[in-house]
Each structure stands twice: as C-alpha cells, then as structure tokens.
Structure 1
Amino acid sequence: MARNRENSRALYDRALSVMPAGVNSSVRATQPYPTFVRSGDGAHVIDHDGNRYLDYVMGYGPLLLGHDMPESVAAAVQRAASEGPMYGAPTEVEVDLAEFVVRHVPSVEMIRFVNSGTEATVSAVRLARGHTGRNKIVVMQGGYHGAQESTLVEGDAEHPRPSTSGIPQSFAEHTLPVPFNDEEALREVFERHGDDIACVLTEPILGNSGIVMPEEGYHEAIRETCDEYGALYVLDEVITGFRVGGLGCAQGKFGVTPDVTTFGKIVGGGFPVGAIGGRSEIIEQFSPSGDVFQSGTFSGHPVTMAAGLATLEFCAENDVYDHVNALGERLREGLTDIVADRAPEYTVVGTDSMFKVVFGRANTGPQSDCCSAGCRQDPTCERSPDCPKTGADVADGETQRWDRLFRPFMEEQGILLPANQMESQFVSYAHTEADIEETLEAYEAFFS
C-alpha cells in the first residue's frame, strides 16, 4: 500500500508559487515532489503526513550524531542561544573550537571560521591566489566545491567552460579541470601552466560523484607536483572532515599533508558553518593581518561554535567513530553481496560511514574480497577495470534509473536517500544494527 503523502504534495504546490522549483537548494527537488520533513528522531525523519523514514541523507553530511543532539551538545546550544543570538564580536567558544581543530588536525596551525562550505572554498581559492600571486587553479572533473564561479567549470584544461549560465567565460579560463586519479593529466597541465597555477583544489574522495576513492599514491602525486611548481595543495574536507578518518580527518587516513584545508558540515554540529585552516604563514594572509580580504557578519557565530565544539568533544569522548564505521562496513558488505547476486554491473562504494551503490554499466565480474566493503581502487579486484575512477564514470551510469525508479521505491520502503546518484549517503551514531538489516532488506527487495 502506497504511503499517504498528500501534505507533502500540498506543501510543494504552495512552494512552487513562492520559490524557484519549490526548493531552496537544487538537490532537494526530487521526483515527483520532495518529502517535506516535519521533525527528526534519532536515525529517522517524520514527514508532514506522519510517515517515518530511516534517514541516510543526514542533512547531506553534517549530522554525524543523528537528529537527536546528545545532552551535552543540546545544553551547549541552548546556553549559547539563551545568552544572545550573536554579537559581531569575538567570543571564547570560537577560540575553543579553533584550538580543538588545531590540536587534532596536524596540517592546521591556524583557522578562520566562515558560514558555509561554499564560502570556505571561495575564500581558500582567493587565499591561494593572493599568497602565490598566480591566477589559475586546478580542479577535478566531477568534483564539487560549492556554488562559486571559480569551480562551476566543466570541460578540460584546454577547453574549460562554465557549467552554468551566469558565469562569464573569462572566469572559467582561469580554472583547469583534470580527471581525478589521472597523474599524467595533472603533470601535463602543470607543464603547460605551472608558472600561473595558484593551487590544486580537490576533495580527498569525490563525495559529490557517488563517492570515488583515490588510487594509491594519487594524493602524494598532487603533493609532490605542487611542491615542485610552488603551488598550494588545497584539500576540500567539507564532506569528509571529522567523518572519514575520525578526528584526524581524511588527510590523516590517507597520510597526506595539504597546505590549506576547507571544512564545513560536522565542524558546525549541524548548524551553518565553514572554515579554512592551514599553515600559519598562509592563513595569516587573510585580512587584517594580511592582504587577502575576508570577512563575514555571521562568521564564528556563537551558537554554531558551541554546537561544533560540543559535537567534536562528544566524538572524542565516546565510541562514535567505532560505531558508525562498523555499521558502514556492515552495510557496504551486505550491499556488495546483494549487488553481486542481483546486479553485478553495479559497484558499491564508500568508506568509514559513507556509502553508495553506483548504478554503473560494468562488464567485468563482481567486486572481489579486497573491495567487499566498498571500492578501494585495488588493481587486483575483479571489478577494477570498470570501477568508478572519475566523476564521469559515475555520471555515465544509469542515473535515470537511480533517480526515477530506485529512490522513489526506497522511499516507499521507508528509506530516505538523497535526490540523485551523485550525492553521498551517510550512517550516523543514531543508526543501529537493526536499521542496517532493515535497509539491506529494502535494497534486496528492489533488486529482486
């Protein structure tokens, strides 16, 4: 029996009259209309018709602890809010959060907080250009760094073009897209433009392309190439920061040291946030200590800072990462078994508490044991020739089947997933082993 979603439909009808496409973020516009959420409850959300869903969107990543804040986090948020909404002046809690990040992420010696992941990457690109005196940046095809002019660029390094209307072609000419995991393409673009490349901007894992893992040695190659040409290595950890690799973030997991790191999502405990961290001599180039202008009315917002600090302290003092990573591994292993038996052309991807099934078009055999808990880019894996290595590999899959058939089916089963194949899915501290088994049963039902 189909779920009653009349109230979501009615709200969407109203929203279409006052908001473009009825939403405030393009990825929320699902088929045939979005589920309007009334409240969250642990690992679940409840819509305006009273339907309850296991949630793997988790706010697109920020809700590592789930929808219910632990008592310590809730108390910190309530205390900060009760003392005043904001001040436009420094507060102790922003210093406390900065010290926490610096203490746990070795590459970060100083940090500046902003209001979103987009603002963080905008500021990081401006900082790299100001610090080096160069204009061009290298980005990964299929990577995403927020809604900013410098990175909403497609094509290749010799023929870059805006990926959306509203951006002048002259902006795109300073951005050089290369395929992820392609060391040769990276070297070639530096050989042609190295004297004017300010930075390489990349995610450690492509988190907005169905989760594409790096091949062994790829980030080390970026580090070495940046050092050789005097460019900055900017690592976008907006999605992975304090989720992959625990408190040391993905850079700790992969053993790489960027010059600059951007943060967002979890570092704000579910409230709007972004941050730019890195070596002191680089971060101090921000005004007023340096010549790179950066400012913001809501930067270091006391409620966000309190939420972020209390969230990360809770993670440090409890078994959060052991719990979410174990559930993520169990889920990916179960999905690998289902896909191998029912849809061998598809690939299970992810690491730690991130997961996804990429609806690909592989002709090779299923994933081998080395990648049974998610694609690891292991060349010995039977699936290796066809596993997703770039953003284009994910985009070339059966995205319409994912969007129009799979996601709506799962929603009817009480499983809420992101709007499309390109977005990551997340396990939270509130999820349980029973939730994982329920989820696997729903996936199996779709593929049966």
Structure 2
Amino acid sequence: MNDDNSRDLYDRALSVMPGGVNSAVRAAIEPYPFFVQKGEGGHVIDADGNRYVDWVLGLGPLLLGHDLPEPVQAGIQQKASEGPMYGTPTEVEVDLAEFVVRHVPSVEKIRFVNSGTEATTSAVRLARGYTGRNKIVVMQGGYHGAQESTLVEGDHENPRPSSAGIPQSFAEHTLPVPFNDEDAVREVFEEHGDDIAAVLTEPILGNYGIVYPEEGYHEFLREITDEHGSLLIFDEVITGFRVGGLGCAQSEFGVTPDLTTFGKIIGGGFPVGAIGGRAEIIENFTPSGDVFQAGTFSGHPVTMAAGLETLKFAAENDVYEHVNGLGDRLRRGLTDIVADQAPSYTVTGTDSMFKVIFTREGPGPDSLEEQCPAGCRQDPTCPRYDYSPKNAGDVKNAETERWRRIFWGQMKEQGVFLSQNQFECQFVSYGHTEEDVEETLEAYKHAL
C-alpha cells in the first residue's frame, strides 16, 4: 500500500502538534498513523486512497457507521442550518433527555456535558458532594477519561498518579482494586468504608481488551455499596446504547447503579457526555444543588439532534439485531480460527464489541470443546476459564507488543483497520455487512 500522503501529513503534524496527534492513542501506530480522508458505510478511505474495513468506528461512537440514514442526516443538517449554538436551552435537549430517561433503568434525570471525561469528572464530584466523602474505588486498568481522580495506578494501599502533572495527594483519594476481585473490594471497604463516596466501574472493561464480569460481581458491588452508604457508578461511555441495546449494559446485567456516565453513541458521532441517575442525586448539580457543573457547549443543539435521531433510528429499525448478529458471527468465526491457529489466545466481546487478546497460558486446556462459542463469558464450566483474562493485569501480561508491532500491520496490509493497540475495543456498525465479516475473518487467518 502506498502511504506517501499520510507520511507527509504526519511530518507536517509533528511540527505543530505534540506527537503529531490530538489524542495519544492515535500515535500508537508505528512508524506513523494513516490519515483518514472520509468514511463510507463500514469503511474508511485514507489520504492515499487506500480502503479499509473499519472496526474502530471513531473508538465507538458510530453505531450507524459512516453513512448516516436520511432521517439522522436531516435532523443534524436542520439544527446546523438554524445556527451553531445559543447559550440558552433548546427543545431538542429536552427531547433527548426524555428518550434516555424512558429507556435506561437507572436514569430519572440527566445532565449533558461535552465528553466522556467531563462526564466521569462531574460524576465523581457529584458523588463526593452528595455523600460528603472523599474516596473513590476504581478498577485497575479501567479507563474513565483524562481526569485527575482516575489517572491512578498501583493498588489501594499504594495508589499513585499514572500521569505527570497529578499531585500524589490527589491519588491518595483513589483506591484501585482488580476487576472481578470481591475480596479486594471487601478489604478496601473494611479499611475505608466510612469515607468511600462511590465505586466507579465499567460494566465490562472496555479499554483493557474487553474483560467480562464474573457472574454475580456487579450484584456484589451493588450490595456492598448499599451496605456502606456509598454510590455505585457505572461508566457506560463505551457500553451505553451498544451493549444491552437501548437499556445499556445495566439492563443486560440486571443491576441498577445510582449514577451512569455516557458518551460516544449518545451524541451520534459528535462531542458529548452525560451523567444520569436517581433524581435525588442528580438534583445536587447546580443550580438546584450545590455541586457546581456548567459548560458553554453542554447540550449543543447539533449534538443533541445527532444523538436523538441516532437512538430513534436504532429504536425503530433492526439496528441492534444487525450489529449484534454480525458481532456474534465475528466472534464465533474468530473462536474457530483461534482454536485452530493460536489456541492460547482469547476471543472476547459481546453484542457489537469484539477483540482477540494474545494471552499467554503455557500448555492451556487439554480440550477446547464446550468453550464459550462467541466470546469469553467467564463461565466456570468452560475449559478455558482458568486461562481467560479476569482483570486488566491479565490482559497486560498478554503479547501486547506482538499485537501492535506485527499483527496490526499485517491486518492493515489486508485492508482491515483494527484498534490501535491490544487494549482498545473494536466495534460493529449498522454500515457493516456479512462480506465485511468474511473478509475480516480471512485476514485473521493469514495474520495469526
């Protein structure tokens, strides 16, 4: 593939942007990322005219793909033609709020913001303001945006900032525990229960290779937070309106959190974030309460129209049947390929999310019969149960460099665009086809 234009663009970008990018993960591709010119359906075309099957989809927001259906396109264009924004409320933000409240079990009221990071930042502040407590329990490897309260690594006994520029004193209020580890959660509550404002978790770890929860784990979190008067916050920036359909992942798992953060799909491909939850908690945001939150672009009419029309289209058409069906077909195909060519690797994902984690497990199970057929479900009866990743540390110990330095490039050469590293999700859209799935499975056969 020729990539002269992308190389020249990256050379220019290095002169005016740090690392040549505006989001760090985009620079993970070596020696330089390709620059996209446009999208079509489930594909992107780069600056050199190369066409790829796109399983990144802007890192998740594009449920409908790159070609928006006519009613969605029309709604966006109408709002854009009426003026950019106003600094005053508009009807469409009420319409979108009402739609979300009708469909998501935990949401009685909602506040729109401008990014997933802003949503989680505001949710943490709200939890602290509502409870009068300081500490937040997070999952190791869970990602909640570029914010000081969650850019923390280590464990609950020795938390430390994971980025320069964050004081150690900030990190001391964040308590990281391994995902799926009930004992670790019990330990932090025994030690800090009176000062834990909330447990913040993704329902499914989505920035660490897709790690499914053990059966009963979220029910346990619900029980222990109730017992100690803490809040349970689900970060559904990735899973919201993708896993579990319009009810989100919380409806699939049957656990109702106190607060939920949203992003990506709720804005239909435009910058967005939101915090929803019990009315008595959300009402603590200013102006009705004393937890300050504001934003010039919050509830932006074009974003609200994009989100509302996207979700309405998904509700009225076969969007979830289509994307979840293709996702299941992908994961089943990958499970067969991996069993034959790389039996130590793990296929993960659910609904329209998928990934192959390059796990290293030594000899592995004696037989792969009766394994999870379409992505790891943490099923104790599965022969791969003891070898599948249970937390972020397990994924980190996989062959992440092989995935990034060898496998990703081999897939690109075959016209398949996968997420930029071992850790990011991959997604299916309404714009993808069965042919895209078959082409991708063939590419995996050659690259693994």
**Class of the TM-score when normalised by the shorter of the 2 chains:** over 0.9
Matched with 1:238 is: 237
Structure 2 Cα separation of the partners of residues 237 and 15 of structure 1 = 32
Q: CA deviation at 1:368?
A: 4.6
SS at match of 1:369: coil
Q: Which amino acid aligns with 1:429?
A: Y
- For normalisation by structure 1, the TM-score amounts to 0.99
Matched with 1:409 is: 410
Whether the 8 Å contact between 2:142 and 2:208 is mirrored in structure 1 is yes
Give the count of matched residue pairs.
445
Whether the 8 Å contact between 2:371 and 2:384 is mirrored in structure 1 is no
1:354 partnered with 2:389: no
Matched with 1:100 is: 99
1:404-444 Cα distance to aligned partner (Å, 9 max, x none): 00111111100001110000000101111111000000000
Whether the 8 Å contact between 1:336 and 1:367 is mirrored in structure 2 is no
In structure 2, the gaps of 5 or more residues are none
Whether the 8 Å contact between 1:324 and 1:429 is mirrored in structure 2 is yes
SS at match of 2:275: strand
Q: Which amino acid aligns with 1:90?
A: P
Matched with 1:6 is: 4
Give RMSD over aligned pairs. Answer: 0.7
CA shift in 2, pair 1:199/1:388, >3 Å: same
CA shift in 2, pair 1:355/1:367, >3 Å: farther
Percentage of pairs with the same residue: 76
Structure 2 Cα separation of the partners of residues 362 and 298 of structure 1 = 48
Matched with 1:266 is: 265
Whether the 8 Å contact between 1:102 and 1:110 is mirrored in structure 2 is yes
Residue pairs, 1:129-144, within 5 angstroms? 129-144=128-143
Structure 2 Cα separation of the partners of residues 392 and 424 of structure 1 = 16
Matched with 1:382 is: 383
Residue pairs, 1:37-436, within 5 angstroms? 37-363=36-362, 364-365=364-365, 368-436=369-437
Structure 1 Cα separation of the partners of residues 370 and 264 of structure 2 = 32
Structure 1 Cα separation of the partners of residues 106 and 442 of structure 2 = 42
Whether the 8 Å contact between 1:347 and 1:367 is mirrored in structure 2 is no
Q: Which amino acid aligns with 2:145?
A: G
In structure 1, the gaps of 5 or more residues are none
Structure 2 Cα separation of the partners of residues 216 and 412 of structure 1 = 39
Structure 1 moving runs of 4+ over 3 Å? 366-370
Q: CA deviation at 1:310?
A: 0.1
Structure 1 Cα separation of the partners of residues 399 and 240 of structure 2 = 29
CA shift in 2, pair 1:252/1:293, >3 Å: same
Structure 1 Cα separation of the partners of residues 12 and 410 of structure 2 = 25
Whether the 8 Å contact between 2:104 and 2:247 is mirrored in structure 1 is yes
SS at match of 2:386: helix
1:58-89 Cα distance to aligned partner (Å, 9 max, x none): 00000010001100000000000000000010
Structure 2 Cα separation of the partners of residues 359 and 226 of structure 1 = 34
Matched with 1:15 is: 13
SS at match of 2:61: coil
Q: CA deviation at 1:369?
A: 3.3
Q: Which amino acid aligns with 2:375?
A: G
Whether the 8 Å contact between 2:371 and 2:383 is mirrored in structure 1 is no
1:284-324 Cα distance to aligned partner (Å, 9 max, x none): 00001001000000000000000000000000000000010
Q: Which amino acid aligns with 1:229?
A: H
Structure 1 Cα separation of the partners of residues 361 and 86 of structure 2 = 55
